[in-house]
Amino acid sequence: MTYDLERFVGPQSAIYDQVLTELRQGRKQTHWIWFVFPQLAGLGSSPTAQHFAISGAEEARAYLRHPVLGPRLRECTATVNAVEGRSVDQIFGAPDNLKFRSSVTLFASLATDNTVFTSALHKYFAGVPDPATQRLLYAADPLQRDFESAADAIINGDLPALQEALARHPELIRTRSIREHRSTLLHYVAANGVEGERQKTPQNILEITSLLLDAGAEINAESEAYGGHSTTLMLAATSCHPEDAGLQIPLLRLLLARGAAIDVPPGASIVNACLHNGRGLAAAFLADNGASLDIEGAAGVGRLDLVRSLPKATESQRLDAFAWACQFGHAKVVAHFLEHGVPVDAKLRHHGNTGLHWAAWGAHADVVRLLLQNGVSVNTRDEHFNGTPLEWALYAWATASASKPWHHVVALLVRAGATHDPQWFHANAGRQGAAEKLRASSEMQAALRGELLDEPLTGQ
């Protein structure tokens, strides 16, 4: 179905700069609330309110996807969230304070990335959504309230609550969320492609998944996350949360055993998707279980035999394959590409970095050593973060959840002439935290002096 969203675009465009000015000042002064923070139909009775009312969840999702309206809604909400020292009543006055609450409730209930809207609810309304808006949403789909409770049970690992919900409403197993991603309950076990606060992996996720499948969940159901065609297997394989919980491979093994298709849609590469998201272990596991491999995927999982035998690749594909080999620590594959003409200092896609950046990031000392032996420049800055390989290694070490031999990589780089700029670590809070950890680590300080290389290397 199509909707007349242009009824919002024109009025907004005429005064949008003024709207932002008023919001930044923390005081709404002119009349625009209906078409900047729209509400569900049924909440307003004036002709203007009815004209700009959102007919239901489907039109609200279309509003969020609109290339102009969606970003403007998020920008305006974020601007309200940034106001300090003023209440929502002082910012909007009555009754527009109530309209703002109903609007952010609507979009918090439907957006996949709903953080900006939930933040508004927490800052100005103690986290309590507008009950009238929720009643209207759930009236159109009565199962949604129970769906939301079941989704919470999944991410909290509450097996009894999930069992009770499915026993009470067996049809929940094929119900879809009213949010943009249109996920089923099974998609929530992947902790990916759903709302941010629900991207969690409980320790009993295998039991949760088995319960859903036993209840009739469709193993290859596709959600609309990331443009569509997202299966639970694809989402779980590319998610950091199951990996961080130490359960990604067991979860993938369970999904495959229950009939999950690997490469969906046809022509897609789940291995390449894993590599793009930094999930090297999942990529290797799926490659071992029959996932299709092109030269990029083969390089990323260390299959030198396939790299050598696959049909001739384009220069872009060769550079991507070289990047994955460096990032995931496959020294023999890296050596193959260097021997066959890939420049050791080649600027790679995504960040304009070199292979040395990726090897340093992944703490792959053998690849770092190989690249250094081939004359790579040690102080090249990438085009996105403006960091050197040494700075990438230090940041990765400071923010990683797993232990890897970054100290040895840092020492290798320093002995090869690598330097780092302390000011680089002042750019944002994340880097400042890394700098604090760096100052407190005597072992990393020793590595920055080029020491520790007499210790045995661990890792790949």
Averaged pLDDT, 239-249 = 97
Which whole number is the average pLDDT over 197-225?
Answer: 97
Please say whether the dihedral angle defined by the alpha carbons of residues 383, 388, 392 and 394, taken in this order, is positive or negative.
Answer: negative
CA–CA distance, 323 with 327 (Å, rounded to integer): 6
What is the tens place of the pLDDT at every residue in 279-317? Answer: 999 999 999 999 999 999 999 999 999 999 998 889 999
d(CA 129, CA 119): 11
CATH number for the segment(s) 6-140: 1.25.40.380
pLDDT on residue 454: 56
**pTM over 0.85, yes/no:** no
Selection from 229, 248, 237, 313 nearest residue 275 by Cα: 237
- At 191, is the secondary structure helix, strand, or coil? coil
Is residue 232 within 8 Å of 255, Cβ to Cβ? Answer: yes
Measuring CA to CA, which residue among 296, 297, 216, 211 is closest to residue 254? 211
**Could you read off the pLDDT of 396-452 as tens digits, one per residue?**
999 987 789 999 999 999 999 999 999 999 989 889 999 999 999 999 999 999 887
**Confidence band for 377, pLDDT divided at 50, 70 and 90:** very high
pLDDT digits (tens, 9 = 90+) for 141-199: 778 989 999 999 999 999 999 999 999 999 999 999 988 899 999 999 999 999 988 99
Asked whether residue 459 carries a pLDDT value surpassing 60, the answer given is no
Sequence ranges of the domains in the chain: 6-140, 262-342
Question: Within 13 A of 449's CA, how many CA atoms are on the CB side?
Answer: 7
pLDDT score of 453? 60
| Residue 32 · residue 19 · CB < 8 Å | yes
Please determine, for residue 458, whether its predicted confidence score (pLDDT) is greater than 80. Answer: no
CA distance 337 to 331: 10
Report pLDDT for 342. 96
Q: What is the pLDDT of residues 81-138, one digit of tens each?
A: 999 999 999 999 999 999 999 999 999 999 988 899 999 999 999 999 999 999 998 8
Alpha-helix runs per DSSP H in 156-199? 159-168
Closest CA to 73 of 83, 62, 89: 62
Neighbouring CB atoms inside 10 A of 408's CB total 21
Is it the case that residue 369 has pLDDT exceeding 80?
A: yes
Q: Can you name the residues that pair with 230 across neighbouring β-strands?
A: 223
Give 15-44 pLDDT, tens digit per residue.
Answer: 999 999 999 999 999 999 999 999 999 998
Residue type, 56: G
CA distance 303 to 301: 6
Quick one: pLDDT at residue 451? 84
* Cβ-contact 296, 275 below 8 angstroms: yes
- Do the Cβ atoms of 93 and 36 come closer than 8 Å? no
Instruction: Provide φ and ψ at 350, rounded to 5°.
Output: 80, -55
In whole angstroms, how large is the CA radius of gyration of the chain? 26
Indicate the residue type of 211.
L
Identify the pLDDT of residue 460: 38
